[in-house]
Amino acid sequence: MRESTGGTRERIKAVALELFTEQGYEKTSLREIAERLDVTKAALYYHFKSKDEIVTSFVEDRLELIDELIAWAEAQPPTLETRRALIARYADAMFTSEQPSVMRFFEQNQTVLKSLSAGQQMRGRLMKLAEALFRGDDSPSAQLRATLSLFAVHTSWFAVRTPHISDEERRRIALEVADELLAPIGQPAGPAR
């Protein structure tokens, strides 16, 4: 417990993220977060002026990161190579980060997040990311494929149930499937039978 000096804000973020992800935003009370940290509710209000400001705090880092990816992609030609590189970079961000669970939190709290500005921003950003993935081919199937390739990355943590599988292996599988989904995008015609 070395970090008790000054690190309180970070500890609040970490605990809140964990509880929000597990139980949901609405079901997690500030009392619960405070108890877990062995402080009082009032202490939380010193660090964050409201409950949803806690959410904002850990969503913002991700927004920046996604913005960078989008900007990078838009500077590239809309080729398959670009799409693949983009999803790979995104997967790196998801798997590498110290807190991969920000996206899990987001997935698990979609509806609630609609009414939070942080949530709306994140929603918008993921839309733009999907757009960057199908850029140059806005056919319905390309749109669906692009979105699903993001889901491949997001859901591999639970969709792959094999026990004891490593994160690196999950990432590899996710990208294998994502690549296949991206392949037909931008082709003259989809792989209709």
Partner DNA sequence: GTCTATATGCAGATAGAC
Partner DNA sequence: GTCTATCTGCATATAGAC
Give the position of tokens 């970079």.
89
Q: Under a CB-based contact definition with an 8 Å cutoff, are residues 179 and 87 in contact?
A: yes
Residue 4 interacts, among a second copy, DNA, none and using kind-specific CB cut-offs from 5 to 8 Å, with: DNA
Per-residue tokens: 37: 């940290």
The footprint of a second copy on residues 10-49 (CB under 8 A) is 21-27
Residue 45 interacts, among a second copy, DNA, none and using kind-specific CB cut-offs from 5 to 8 Å, with: DNA
How far apart CA 125 and CA 120 sit, in angstroms, is 9
Q: Under a CB-based contact definition with an 8 Å cutoff, are residues 80 and 185 in contact?
A: yes
How far apart CA 180 and CA 114 sit, in angstroms, is 31
The footprint of a second copy on residues 134-153 (CB under 8 A) is 138-141, 143-148, 151-152
| Amino acid code (one letter) for 187 | Q
The footprint of DNA on residues 43-62 (CB under 7 A) is 43, 45-47, 49-52
What track of x and - describes contact with a second copy for positions 87 through 116 (by CB under 8 A)?
A: --------------------xxxxxx-xx-
Residue 5 CB, shortest distance to a second copy, in Å, is 33
Residue 80 interacts, among a second copy, DNA, none and using kind-specific CB cut-offs from 5 to 8 Å, with: none
Residue 4 CB, shortest distance to DNA, in Å, is 7
Indicate whether 111 belongs to the interface with DNA (CB under 7 A).
no
| Amino acid code (one letter) for 72 | W
The closest alpha carbon to 55, from 123, 22, 102, 94, belongs to 102
Indicate whether 6 belongs to the interface with DNA (CB under 7 A).
yes
How far apart CA 163 and CA 8 sit, in angstroms, is 35
Report which DSSP code applies to 40.
-
Count of residues binding DNA (CB under 7 A)? Answer: 22
Query: Footprint of DNA on this chain (CB under 7 A)?
Result: 4, 6, 8, 28-32, 34, 38-43, 45-47, 49-52
